[in-house]
Structure formats: structure tokens, C-alpha cells
Chains A and B, each alone.
Chain A
Amino acid sequence: MPTTLYNEPSPLETKVLSKRFGLENSHRLDTYLAHDGFKAFLKARQMTPEQIVEEVKTSALRGRGGAGFPTGLKWSFVPRTSPKPKYIVINADESEPGTCKDRLLMEYDPHQLIEGILIAGLAMDAHKGYLYIRGEYRYLIDHTDRAIGEAYSKGYLGKNIAGTGFDFDLYTHSGAGAYECGEETALLDSLEGKRGIPRMKPPFPAVAGAWASPTLLNNVETFSAVPNIIRDGGAAFAALGTPKNGGTRLVCISGHVNKPGVYELPLGYPMLKAIYEVAGGIPGGKKLKAVVPGGSSCPLLKAEECDIPMDYDTLAKAGSMLGSGGMVVLDETTDMVKFALRIMRFYAHESCGWCIPCREGTTWLRKILQRFDDGGGRKEDIPVLGEVSKNMLGRTFCALGDAAAMPTISIVEKFREDFEKRLAGASRASELVTV
């Protein structure tokens, strides 16, 4: 089974979550048990829920789904003593363009994820978990179901787990094609059998989430980090990264690089080093034009802005985001009009349609950009692109509207000349040919 990896690992990686990737039968429970598996769960069983949450806080782990919210803090919001049932929901919707890491964590090391979920169950006094997996990942749903079955049969799920008296049931739940269902509250609506429309907050899912009960919702990678934190201590995990940005993360490097792939790098890793050393640099020795630092929702960085360490706070200072870890590298030949259009086609297609600015704005922007791409761009359209985006920014019902606006604003502001070159009548600039 998955012993062949989709890409070669890099010697520059710091392998914590991915340390078992590549082992023979890495996905099997036996393999997991032979390599530290479920030690953390047994340790957590001896801790109080408060201690578990405290350890996660100490680790400075931040959500790997995109928003980077401090995980320990989020865990502390769930009213553990509520008389209602509590649920753990795992976000495996992985749909942010540029992102392909949760897939690996489920494929190569599903028991690490299960152990993380169980530890969260201990901390929340929750006994049921739902793994919401995007529908396109059917093979992974089947694969994860097998891993869950294996865990049940060996007593690592179900009643009296590993003889500790703790009960937990875990189920997979298939999505059916909707990026918006990665947004945590839309995901909950989808889990409840509805259209994936985000919910009003407050109440937050921690208080009223799945079926109106307290719910802890985190990304696959976030949960996968937890066994490592509990086993080796939050401080050790934190020390891998930079202050307030604990640990390592799986960075998905794609686009114009020689060795695209998913690499586990510590937080604060230099961006240029990731591009030129880990991912082997840009093919043909071309120059770097721009980087999408963490999935299509992030504002782009121009080449000269990329000499920074990759942590949440630095990226925020640079006017962008670390996002979901999907790092897309664009070389000098990239046509930014086409790139912006493809991004906007995505958001227009994925907008759930609930609120006016996102529903209408994404389509309007898509149409303008399409016109540009078809050779009908007008000078006065360029500011309209930015203004319509700004009319969306911060005014939509959920963050998808922002996610559509932010990259567009950055592209129009930073690469205006690409738009000017594509104005109607202007001869199509010869260097803009790649895409």
C-alpha cells in the first residue's frame, strides 16, 4: 500500500507529523503502534482535561485550516461540563486551491489523526467524532473507514478504548463538492444534511455547533499535531517554530518549481529557502514573479516581498496570510490577468450565494476579468476591479467573500502593468505567454 510517496521528501524537512510517511504500510495500526502510536492517548488519559488544553496552549499550535486561530484557546471555549453531548468535528474538506496536505495525513498516517481526535475527546468530554471529508476524496473515505475499522477491531475506538474506560465513536461523512463546506459553520450545516450555508456567529460552534451542541472543529493537520504535542510536551513542539507560531506544518509547494511537493517545515522557515532549496528553485532559471503564500485566498506577494520567514505574524505584517499552507510559486512569465481570472472563476463557482456582495461581486469580477482575458479590457475597468473587491472586503457574510477580494486587490495593485498590457487594442505582450 502507500509506501510510495507522491513526491520525494527533502532532507531539509523537520519531520514530526510526517515522520512515519514512507514507512512500509505506514497507514496500518501495527506500524503506528510500533512507532510511538497511542502513547500520547494513554498519557492524556492520566492528565486532567485542563492539563491537556494547557499543553496544547503551550505548544503554540495554531489552526492549520487557514485562519491560524490558536488551537489551545479554541479548545478552552468548549463548555466541557455542558449537559449536552459534545462533538468533535474534523475538517477534511481540503478544497483551498494550492492545498493538498490533509490528504497525505489521512492516507499515510490515519491513526495519528485518530489519536489526535481521541485526545480532543478526552479534553472535551466528547464521545463522538465526525470526519467531514470532501466527496472527491472517495478513495480516502474508504481508506479512512478501513483505518477506523482497524482501530475498532483492536480496541482503539469504540467502548473502553485501550482499557482506559473511555468511549469514543468516529464516523466519516462525505461531502459532495462544495468549497464553502470547508468554512466551519457551513460545514456543520452540510453535516446536518443541508445546503452548506454559513451560520451567524455568535453562537460559535464551540457553544452551539453540530446539532446545536458544543462542538470542537479543527483541521486534519491540527488534530494530527496533537499526539506529538502531548507525547513530547507542548514546549518541545513550540520550540520547533517561532514564538506564538509553534511547531512544523506541511507546506504544499506547487506551481513553477523544480520539485513541487508537500514538505514539513518548521514555522518561521524562510520563504525563499523553501522555494529555492526545498523545492529546487524555478525551472529554466526563470525569475520569481510572485508567491501565493497559503492558498488562493491569500493576497499575493511580489518577488521582492518574499524574503521573509513563514509564520503567521510575519505574513500578516506583509499584508498577506500563511493560510492553509498552499504555497504557489509564479515565475516571471505568468500572466496575472489569467491568474486573477482563474481565481475569480473559482470563487464565483464556489460562492454559496447567501449574501449579496459575494454572490454578485464574484460574478461581476469574473466577467470583467474574462473580458480582459478575451481582449476586451478597458482602462476604466482596472480601478473597478479594485473597487468592487473593496466593496466586498469585510462586508460579506463569511470569509469566502474576503477570500475572493483579497487576492484580486493585491493582483490589481501589484501587477497593474499586466492589465495595461492586455487592454483592448494593445498588442498582446509577447512575454505573457505561459498560461
Chain B
Amino acid sequence: MAETVKLTINGKQIEAEKGTLLIEVARQNGIEIPAFCYYQNLSLQAACRMCLVEVEKTPKLQVGCTLPVAEGMVVHTDSEVVRQSRKGMVELLLTNHPLDCPVCDKGGECELQDMTFRYGLGESRFVERKQHVDEEQWSPVVYFDRPRCIMCYRCVRVCNEGLDVTALGVGNRGVVSQILPNFHDHLECDECGACIDICPVGALTSGAYRYKTRPWEMHHVGTICTHCADGCRTTLGVRNEKIIRGNNRDSSGINGEFLCVKGRYAFDFTEHPERLQSPLMRAGGRLEPVSWSQALEAVAKKFIEVKQGSGHFGVIGSCHTTNEENFYLQKFARQVLGTKNVDHHRSGDLATLFDALTDRGKVLATVEDLANAKAVLVVASDLAQQHPMLANQIRASRRLRGARVYTVTPGPVREDKNAVASVRVQKGGELAGIESLRDKLKAESDLTIVFGDAIQGESLRKLIAFGDSLGLAVKYICLVDYSNSRGAFDMGLIPRDGGLSREQMLARDLDVLWVVGANPLKEVRGESKAGFLVVQDLFLTETAQRADIVLPAASAYEKTGTVTNVCGEVQKLKAAINVMGPKADLEIMGLIAREMGPAAVRTLGMWLPDKVFEEIRKTVHGYDVPMPVVATGGAAPTMPLNGRVAALPGSISSAGDTLFTSGTLGRYSKVLNSVMESPGALYEEKGRHS
């Protein structure tokens, strides 16, 4: 326990850790010291002067956000002079503020509005002309309205310190000073919107949300981002069955306030005009809309026919669908259709990992473990591009807790900038690169190794052996794509016991190929080899275009269920909006089973997410997670298989999405497309962080 001091705030005796900032101590004790520029975990500015308080025996008011508490300090946060000072500050701030709250996006959740209400003067004595500058669009996502800006520098700090992007600075000086984007009149950056999110006023606003609604007209739904595998929690603002905004201001979830451009804005694929609204069936060579009952009946008929005939089925699942759906699908395949040909697009070698880690105990790192790691080794991945949240976590660990970072990658990565050591390797040379760091790594007290798809099979076993040989506590994160790859594996969407792999299925003349939420034919030319292709998807993908029957599916934002992130943590999806035409994949599967007859339904059980999850908890290894954690929106770590896992056929490779792509979904996101068309598209090539 650190040294404590006794102090008095507003007559209340308080004990606090020595050196803690007064503003924090006050907050911990329920005493509000107003602040604009102070922001937890960002550097101190002492710029807004809202937090001035009276400290006895000092002549001037003291800055609460930078003052460390000391023994015997007597503080007044609500004395006459303090209140007068705050009034003065608010009045000064408003002298150049447009007061256009009725048309401001931030109206209703603006910290300045709040502050004016709580601490302000009531009326202004300012009768002069205000500074005016027109609003500017800096990127497809970011708009800046200078007159509303109160120069708290939160945006600058979150971008520079939080994201390590340094896209924002401060230009000019004095009353005309302003926030400056990195290309003078526009931004080329991560487009993550963190700056917008953190802006206390309506100075930075988002292209996605602008003028669409007022905050109080939305309701909010906390769910999990469907894009990469990191599993960020996002709070979707919904109005009239439309998702209008994503953020995570309440810091719930493993990502804190962090969201990347995809989590914050790329929910817009849900309302893309090409979204499938009705089932399609091939008739005369063309896909024509049919009713749900016609489509389901046709599918069921085909399934029964092939089951009674050749039994040649192939089932390819998704990296986006829920655990419940994946579980139900593999059970459907194995127990109703009677096939072992089950797979999904595997992007990380989990089979080898689990096998190699047999009897190691808890050595798969959770996001929290990563946050507390003293040292992190990044192997063969550009995390800032592919796993933005993990990258953010590592940056925070380094910045706030001094974590030491090492990189072994083919090209320059953002982590290099603050890395202890960076090694550039050719593909295949990763292990040699890691080996060259042996002495440095050995000196660490613990280590978390985060590795990409280049490490698989034999090299993955060697990596584990390397970890074992360091003589310290080593944990691993095996990177995978998309929101539920990990769940797809855990639920058994894998060709075990001699089933065909994805590639094998595509190469064979199967009688039925059933593809749920995946686009395996994207890179395959010509007709599908399968006799009958059933596809469940949101869009008419390259695979769906060749299908015999297409069933429109709901997206992750339109259904409930659970997903498992890259670190094996189970989190709950909550439907933000209801869709009319499409149905959740689980429901679609259930309805197919029902069409097939009562026996199928008896085998599979009801297609209710909660029911299926109960079964998962009972039957899937490591998934007996505590229900309250999941139910309340928490992340429950799972325990992976502990015991030999047989090698699986088929290849493993990441789709290699970047910060601005997200497989098929990304192609239907207007925001992501506009970001890529903007000058920011050059972002990556320029290698600005090299």
C-alpha cells in the first residue's frame, strides 16, 4: 500500500494515496470538481481553469487537475470565490461560443451546456461580435466547427497519446487558435472517431451521425462489434429501427472507450440498399424472390432427399454468426444430416495451439491480461490494421503502465515507434527473428506473445517451445479474423473425425453445399460444383449469386446470442434493430429443421438463443461460463480444450483485412468505402508510421 495522506475537502476528512491528483481524490469521495481539459489517462493540460479550487494557505486558487494531494491540505471546492471563478470561466468560454445548441449535434449531451447550467452566470455581459469561421469537413467521418471548440485539447491528446496517430495538432495562436488536421485542410488518419467521441462539445462531429437525430430521441443498445475478432463492446444509438451511432462512452466492456472506424461507423451495411429482403430461388436459371415457406420447404425437401440418398453434404459456417448458430449448425450437420463435412474459414491455427498447450494451465491471455502484461511480443501481424483494439490495449499498457513492446514483423508497424526492439523478417523467418530477441525477452518478468497466421503447424509448436524455454510466465494470443472465428472453432465447425475441409468441399461434387454466412466462392471461378447450393447471407455475394436457394439473414446487430473474441472471451449480442425480411440464422436453421419434421427438431432442440447457450455451457469444453457475467454484458473467459487435439485438414489463412476493410460486410459499408475513396486511402501506402 502506498503512503497515504489526510486532507480535508469541504470539511470532510479524507484519506488518500499521497500524490494522487486532487480532482481524482474529490471524485472518489463524491465531490465534483468541474473539468473540461482533464481527462483520465491523458496528459495534464491545466488549460480550461474550470477546476480551480481554494486551498487554504495558498494565495491563488489552485488547479485541481494538476495538484497532488498532500498531508494537511484544506480544500474548498464550493466556496464563494471558487463559484465566482467558475462562473467567470463559463462566461469567458461563452464569449466566442455560438450558442447554437438547438441545431448542434451535441445538444442534450454537451458538457458545456451542462456546465453552463450548473455553474454559469445565467446571462452574459458579452455584447461584442463573436469570432466566426465556417465549419470544415476534414474527412468522410470528421467535421470541425471551430466556433464551438473550447480548446480543451482532448481530441489532440486522444489521437496522439491514445492512438499514436498524431493526426491532430493546434494551429494559430490566441483567440484564433484552432485544432489543426494533419494535412492542413483535411485528415488522413485512422478515422476512428475517438476525437469526436471525446469532444465535450459539438466542435467535432461525425459525418455518420450529423443532423440525423437528437440524443434524447435515440435509445441505446449495448452489443458487440461484428467486424474484427477483438470483440469491442459498442453502444448503438437507435431511432426508428435505424442504427444511427456507435460509441462506448460508458467504457463498459473490454475495450474501454475504444472503437475503431468499423466498430464506430461500419454498422451502416445493415441499411445498404442491396440488402437481401426476401428468399430467392433459382427458376429458369435466375434467382427469383419467393416466400419464406416456399424456400424453406424446398431446402428441407432437398436435405431429406440427399440424406436418404447419397448423403453427400457439405456445410460451411461463418466467422460472424453467433456461438448458438454455429453450435446449432454443426449439430444439424452431424446429427440431422449425418455428415462430418463441416468447416469454416479458419484464420488461426487453434487446433495446433490447443494441442501444443496441453496441460499448460491458463496460458491464453484475455484482453485484461494483455493490459496488465509487462512485456508484449507482436509476431507477424500489423495490429493497428488488423486488431485495432488489441493494438490500442498494448499502447495503453505501454503508456500508462510502462509495458515493454517487441515486434517481429515483415514490414514496419505502428508499435515499432515505442518498441524496445523491432525485428524485420521475411515470411518464414519469424522464429529466427524471435530467437534473436531471446536474451532481451529472458530478462522480462512476464510476456504475452501475440501472433498472426504465419505461425501455424510446426512453427507454432516451435513458438510454444521457445516460450517454454524462456523460464517466465508466457501467455499467448492467436490472432483470428472476425467477430466469432474463435467461437466457430470452439463450437465445432471444423472437419474433425475425417470430415472434409472447406477447400475439399469446394473441390468435390457434393450433392448439397450449405453455406451459412460465408463467401467461400469469392475467389472460385465458374459454377459451383455442388449439386445444390443453399446460402444464408445478408447480401447477394459471389457465393449467393451461384446458389439455388438464398435465405436472407439478419446481421449481428439484429439478433441476440453470444460471440467469442480472439482472446476466448464470451460476450453477448443484443439486437439493436428488428428486421422485417431477413431472419436470424438460428431461426432459419430451426425453421428448416421444422420443415424436415419433428425428429429433426427433437434432435436439435428449440432454436432459441438462450436454450442453445444452455446446451453449449453444458457440453462445450470450457464454456461453462458464469451466466451473470455474460448476461450483464461482461466478457467471460472460456477455457480452451485441454488435451490432444487432432490435426485438421485444410489450410489456415487470414483474410488480411485492413483497418478499412471487413470482408464482405465492409464492401457494403458506405462509411468504409468513402474513407477508402478519400485521400486517406493513401494512408497505408505512405507508411506514415514507418
Contacts and interface: CB of A to CB of B under 8 A. Distances in A.
Given A353-B174, A356-B92, A371-B128, 11 more contacts: A200-B44, A349-B174, A353-B176, A359-B177, A362-B175, A364-B92, A364-B95, A364-B128, A395-B49, A395-B89, A396-B49
Contacts of A354: 47, 151
Contact of B173 (A351, A364, A380): A351
Contacts of B66: 200
Contacts of B128: 364, 367-368, 371
B208 interface: no
Contacts of B49: 355-357, 395-397
B92 A357 contact: yes
A388 B93 CA distance: 12
A153 to B, nearest CB: 40
Nearest to B131: A363
B89 A359 contact: no
Interface string B30-54: 0000000000000010111110100
A352 B173 contact: yes
Interface string B68-101: 0000000000000000010011011101100000
A353 B173 contact: yes
Contacts of B150: 356
B682 interface: no
Contact of B174 (A359, A367, A395): A359
A362 B92 CA distance: 10
B525 interface: no
Given A349-B174, A351-B173, A352-B174, A361 B61 contact: no
B170 interface: yes
12 contacts: A195-B170, A350-B174, A351-B174, A352-B173, A352-B174, A356-B151, A364-B92, A367-B129, A394-B59, A394-B61, A395-B89, A397-B47
Nearest to A352: B173
A349 B131 CA distance: 14
A178 interface: yes
Contact of A353 (B93, B126, B129, B172): B172
Contacts of A356: 47-50, 89, 92-93, 150-151
A434 B417 CA distance: 61
B88 A360 contact: no
Contacts of A362: 174-175
Contact of A355 (B47, B88, B129): B47
A16 interface: no
Given A360-B96, A371-B128, A348 B47 contact: no
B60 interface: yes
A95 interface: no
Interface residues on B, range: 20 to 34
A355 B44 CA distance: 13
B57 interface: no
Contacts of B686: none
Interface of B: 44, 46-50, 52, 59-61, 66, 85, 88-89, 91-93, 95-96, 125-126, 128-129, 131, 150-151, 170, 172-177
Nearest to A349: B174
A357 B46 contact: no
A352 B89 CA distance: 17
Interface residues on A, range: 20 to 34
Interface string A393-422: 011110000000000000000000000000
* CB-based closest 7 A-B pairs: A391-B88, A353-B177, A367-B128, A360-B92, A363-B175, A351-B174, A394-B60
A364 B127 CA distance: 9
Interface in A343-395: 348-357, 359-364, 367-368, 371, 380, 384, 388, 391, 394-395
Contacts of B126: 364
Given A200-B66, A354-B47, A348 B174 contact: yes
B654 to A, nearest CB: 41
Contacts of B175: 348, 351, 353, 359-360, 362-363
B586 to A, nearest CB: 54
Given A356-B47, A364-B92, A391 B85 contact: yes
Contacts of B172: 353
A363 B174 contact: yes
A352 B45 CA distance: 14
Nearest to A358: B174
Query: Secondary structure of the B side of the interface?
Result: loop
A130 B347 CA distance: 57
B85 A395 contact: yes
A71 B301 CA distance: 96
Nearest to A198: B46
B46 A195 contact: no
B667 to A, nearest CB: 42
Nearest to B177: A353
B135 to A, nearest CB: 20
Interface in A69-127: none
B173 A195 contact: yes
Contacts of B92: 356-357, 360-361, 364, 388, 391
A357 B92 CA distance: 6
Contacts of A352: 173-174, 177
A184 B126 CA distance: 33
Contacts of A178: 173
Residue of B44, B61, B95, B131 with most chain A CB atoms under a 10 A cut-off: B95
Nearest to B43: A200
Contact of B125 (A200, A355, A384): A384
Contacts of B125: 380, 384
Interface in A329-349: 348-349
Contacts of A359: 151, 174-175, 177
Contacts of B47: 354-356, 397
B1 to A, nearest CB: 25
A356 B46 CA distance: 10
Contacts of B91: 391
B115 to A, nearest CB: 12
Nearest to A364: B95
B149 to A, nearest CB: 11
B222 to A, nearest CB: 35
B91 to A, nearest CB: 8
A352 to B, nearest CB: 5
A195 B174 CA distance: 12
A355 B174 CA distance: 9
Contacts of B44: 200
A352 B173 CA distance: 5
Contacts of A380: 125
B184 to A, nearest CB: 15
Residue of A355, A367, A397 with most chain B CB atoms under a 10 A cut-off: A355
A269 B594 CA distance: 105
Contacts of A353: 151, 170, 172-177
A394 B54 CA distance: 12
B527 to A, nearest CB: 63
Nearest to A380: B125
A355 B125 CA distance: 20
B123 to A, nearest CB: 13
Contacts of B177: 352-353, 359
Contacts of B95: 360, 363-364
A391 B176 CA distance: 21
Contacts of B173: 178, 180, 195, 351-353
A95 to B, nearest CB: 14
A396 B89 CA distance: 10
A408 B91 CA distance: 19
B138 to A, nearest CB: 20
A351 B61 CA distance: 21
Contacts of A195: 170, 173
Contacts of B50: 356
B133 to A, nearest CB: 14
A180 B151 CA distance: 18
Nearest to A393: B60
A175 to B, nearest CB: 13
Contacts of A348: 174-175
Interface string A261-280: 00000000000000000000
